[in-house]
Each structure stands twice: as C-alpha cells, then as structure tokens.
Amino acid sequence: MQTAASSRRGFVNILMGGGFTAMAAWMLYPVVRFLIPPKSGEPTIASVTVPWKPAELKSNSGRIFKFGSQPGILVKTPAGELRAFAATCTHLNCTVQYREEKQDIWCACHNGIYDLNGKNVSGPPPRPLETYKVNVKAEQVIVSKGA
Amino acid sequence: MGGVPRSVAELLRFANAWVEERIDLSGARELIRHKVVPVHRHTIWYYFGGMTLFLFIIQVMTGILLLLYYRPSAEEAFESVQFIVTEVEFGWLIRSIHSWSANLLVATMMIHLFSVYFTQAYRKPRELTWVSGMCLFGIFLFFGFSGYLLPWNELAYFATKVGTDVAGQVPLVGHLIARILRGGEDVTGATLSRFYGFHVAILPLLTTAILGLHLFLVQKQGMSVPPEIERSGRPIRTMPFVPHFLLRDLVGWLSALAVLGALAAYFPWELGVKADPFAPAPAGIRPEWYFMYMFQTLKYIPAKIGPIDGELVGVLGFGVGGLFLLLVPFLDRKTARGEKSPLFFWIGVGIVTYILVLSLLGYVAPGGK
C-alpha cells in the first residue's frame, strides 16, 4: 500500500517536474534565440570607389575609407604607389592609421605596427592586414577584395 | 487615543502605535538592539562595504535622473549627453557625479574585496557571502563597461571594440558571446541599444537580487573577525551597530560625498568627441583605470606564444585569475580549518602587486606615438 502510494506520488512528481522543466525550456528557447542577433542583411561588398582622386593624395600619407560597413585604409607610399588594406587591426579590432613620420601603419590601441605591405612587424597583432587590390581608372581609385 | 495629535512627537507615537497594532515589529527592534560590530585593529575595513553601497545608491539616483534626458541611439546619444551637460540646469553636475561615483565605487569595492581577502573573512561559514560579493564585483565592472559606451564618444567606441573582441577570444563560444554583446558582428548603434538595456535594466535587476542576498548573509552571520585576532584568545570587544557603528558609517559616507562633490565640481567628467566608425583609433587611447592592467598586459603579450595566439593566453590568464578569486573559500583549506595560510596570503599579495604595477605602467610606460 505504502509503496503503491509512494510510487504514485513519485509518478506525479516526475510528471509535474518534467512538465515544469519542459515549460521552462519552452519559454527560454525563444528568449535565447531572441538574444542572438540576426545575421546582417548587408550584402558583402567586393569593391568600392574611394571618394578622392589620385592627384588629391600626397605621397607618404594614408586615409580611411568606407569599404561597405568596414573601414579600409588607402596608403600612398613615399614612392607614390597606392596600396589598400582593411583598416581593422588583427589584434583586437581597433582601426589603424598611417604614421607619416615613421612610414608605417599603426594601431593606437595596443601599439601594433604594420609595414607598408600590411605585414605585422611589431607589437601584438598576430596576422597581417587584409590586402585589397587598387586600380586607377579614369581618375578614379577603385579598391577591391582579392589581392 | 483618539483626537488630533498636537506635536510631532505625538504624531510619531501615534503612527508607531498604528503600525504596531497591525504588524509585529518586535523582531526588527530586537535585531537592531542586539546587532554588534567587533572592535579590533582591523575594524576600519568594515566600512568599505557600506561605502560601496552608499555610492551604489548615488549611482541609482543620478542614473535615474540621467535617464530622463538620455537617448540611446548612435545618432542621438552623444548629442543628448552634450545637451545634458550644456543645457540642462545642473546636468553637468549630475553626469559628473554619476561618472565619478562609478569610479569611486569600483575603488571602494576593490578595497572591500581585498580587505576581505586578506582578513580571510571568506572562510567558512561565509563562502556564499564571498561568492555573491564576487558576482557583484563582476556585475559592477560590467556596469562600468556598458556605461562607458553610452555617451557614444570616440574613446568609448574603441574601448568597446577592444573589450568585446577580448570576450570574443574565449575558445568555442567566444564569437557567439561577442555577437550577443554587440548585437551583431561589429560595434554599432545596435551595440549601444544593447548596452543601454544591460546598463539600465538587466544589471540593476541582477544587482538587486544578488545585493539582497549579500546583505542578508552579512546581516545573518554578522561581521567576521580575522583569524589572527580569534587565535589570540583575548575576548573581543564589540560596539552596538545602532548608533555607534552607524554614525561612524555616516561619517564615512559624508566624507565620500564631500570627495565626490569636489571631484565632480572641480574636474567635470569630459565628454570627448563623438564616435566615428571610420576614424582611426586616436593616439593615447586607454580604458578606464580599472581595466588598465588588462589593457597593458595585452600590449606586452607577444603575437604568438608557441602555436597559440598571444591574446588568447592573456584572456585565459584573466579568466583563471577571476575563477581563482571566485573559488578561494573552497581552495583555501587551511584557513577553513582555522590554520595559518601563508600561500594564499602571498598569492593575494601577488595579485594586488600585479594589478598595481601593470596599471601604473599603463600610465607611465612609453609605447604611444
């Protein structure tokens, strides 16, 4: 009798416990999914035309441009060659800048330094900057992925 | 009774009797009458928890005031804070107090944490008080981190980029954590909305619950007496909480308020320039002082340590350090048994020295432009 009652109680406990657990999971799942942001609907950009003419750019200088939603950096080397890279530091995501006096690309956040080929030469960055292809056509500078 | 009360004293007596007739308050009265605080040469450290609580109350009040004008969007956040500090009467003061008080709060909280550590007040039976305190420590650091972004200025923008990227280094789930924190792949207006939600709703809710538990446990168990004083075998003097300790507490709070007022008035918190996602990180960029030692560590760690990315090593190192502090009541078996525990003392000294030295280096070491 005792065992029958306790097993009945045990059964009800399992049923209720399981029910509540299932209900909690059922309510929690949409919340968790809600917290994870949806993938951005922005198309991935393959190339952009920067808003400056080649003649406007001095040798030994660099400027940040918009590559879709990301910053890119267009560098004109002291020799007058145009090069472009992703401006996002490979260390922790800060935006790099060109240093005229040292002729390098520098990240102010943790003192990371890249040479003018985008190669990480000093400081914490683990990888080179992503290199973009630069084409000059009819007084326009076109920067595209896949160099 | 009956009739109209003729003096304030009579009115108070009447109100008291009215409440007493309906709710039995004898338990609370007894508690107040019997609550005592031990008096010994480390009693001074008991005041820092209360001071942190006081600064938290200031944060809640000034935070609510700032809410009335602040607008959480990338387009308007900076301008709304600018409006608060330039147009709204005493807006500069409220905002400045909120920022300074946040910093003082982290400072008093750290003093509280390490004074509890070094007096080994975390030992049995106060493990849960320590763990809840460590949770509050984490929550308040996150309060600081999320609040730092809200004015949407350049420094905050890059600090948030770096901070969320650090979270993104955690193996396996890092990318997901970074995405959830940012509300997307990058730090954008979506991040601002999220941080606003954390700062004004989620974190206050968590704080209320955990702070409630923390204070309940402190109340329930009373103040811990350092083991060295317990071991001395001498009877321990005490003072009544009300009014002796409370009045001393009050002196501390008023001092904190005076410091806060002076700092806020003489060194109003700067707003800086509006964040521009297409501007390079400015030279001299640095986080708030309480993240400085981590920031400086990340500067010194080389790109690769063997096959592993250096930053991952740094992030794991901080994780292990935090976990150690969280679990110290369960790791320090000697103190739990009432024995001396020099190892944990020296580990504590090591942690404090590391934080102090690296923070100092963050301010004086070269490595800028």
pTM: 0.88
Task: Give the type of residue at B316.
Answer: L
3-state SS assignment for residue B304: strand
**Contact residues, chain A, for B295 at CB < 8 Å:** 110
Instruction: Calculate mean pLDDT across residues A129-141.
Output: 92
**Contact residues, chain A, for B164 at CB < 8 Å:** 93
- Cβ separation A94–B369 shorter than 8 A: no
Q: Chains A and B: how many Cβ contacts under 8 Å?
A: 92
Nearest-by-Cβ selection for A36 from B180, B186, B277: B180
* pLDDT at residue number B125: 93
Nearest-angstrom CA–CA distance, A15 and A132: 61
* pLDDT at residue number A45: 78
At A76-128, the pLDDT tens digits run 999 999 999 999 999 988 999 999 999 999 999 889 999 999 999 998 999 99
Measured between CB atoms, does B76 come within 8 Å of chain A? no
Task: Please give the distance of CA B302 from its chain centroid, rounded to a whole number.
Answer: 31
Most A CBs within 10 A among B161, B166, B187, B286, hence the mutation to make, goes to: B161
> Which CATH code for domain B44-290?
1.20.810.10
Residue B96 confidence class, pLDDT cut points 50, 70, 90 = very high
**Percentage of chain A lying above the pLDDT 90 cut:** 66
Which of B355, B239, B257, B205 shows the shortest CA–CA distance to B54? B257
Instruction: Calculate mean pLDDT across residues A119-146.
Output: 91
Check pLDDT > 60 for residue B173: yes
Check pLDDT > 90 for residue B228: no
Check pLDDT > 90 for residue B339: no
Instruction: Calculate mean pLDDT across residues B322-339.
Output: 93
* pLDDT at residue number A139: 87
Q: Which residue has the higher pLDDT, B111 or B365?
A: B111
Instruction: Calculate mean pLDDT across residues B37-65.
Output: 95
Asked whether the beta carbons of B166 and B298 are under 8 A apart, the reply is: yes
Task: Please give the distance of CA B314 from its chain centroid, rounded to a whole number.
Answer: 23
Nearest-by-Cβ selection for B179 from A36, A94, A96: A36
Residue B369 confidence class, pLDDT cut points 50, 70, 90 = very low
3-state SS assignment for residue B261: helix
* pLDDT at residue number B119: 94
3-state SS assignment for residue A39: coil
Residues with Cβ within 8 Å of A19's Cβ and at least 6 positions away in sequence, in order, are none
Could you report the predicted ipTM of this complex, rounded to two decimals?
0.76
Handedness of CA B282, B167, B344, B38 (dihedral sign): positive
* pLDDT at residue number A120: 93
**Contact residues, chain B, for A99 at CB < 8 Å:** 369
Nearest-angstrom CA–CA distance, B107 and B101: 10
Most B CBs within 10 A among A64, A94, A104, A129, hence the mutation to make, goes to: A94
**Contact residues, chain B, for A126 at CB < 8 Å:** 303-304, 309-311
- Respond yes or no on whether the N-terminal peptide bond of residue A54 is cis (omega within 30° of 0): no
Nearest-angstrom CA–CA distance, B135 and A82: 52
User: Looking at CA atoms only, how far is residue B292 from chain A in angstroms?
Assistant: 12
Nearest-angstrom CA–CA distance, A1 and A10: 14
Nearest-angstrom CA–CA distance, B66 and B335: 45
Nearest-angstrom CA–CA distance, B101 and B106: 9
* pLDDT at residue number A2: 58
Q: Mean pLDDT lowest for which of B199-203, B297-301, B365-369?
A: B365-369
- Supply φ then ψ for residue A127, to 5 degrees: -140, 160
Report DSSP state, residue B199.
Answer: I
Residue B338 confidence class, pLDDT cut points 50, 70, 90 = confident
* pLDDT at residue number A147: 57
**Domain residue spans of chain B:** 44-290
At B234-292, the pLDDT tens digits run 888 999 998 999 999 999 999 999 999 999 999 999 999 999 989 999 887 888 899 99
- Cβ separation A110–B283 shorter than 8 A: no
- Cβ separation A95–B158 shorter than 8 A: yes
Nearest-by-Cβ selection for B184 from A40, A87, A93: A40
Measured between CB atoms, does B366 come within 8 Å of chain A? no
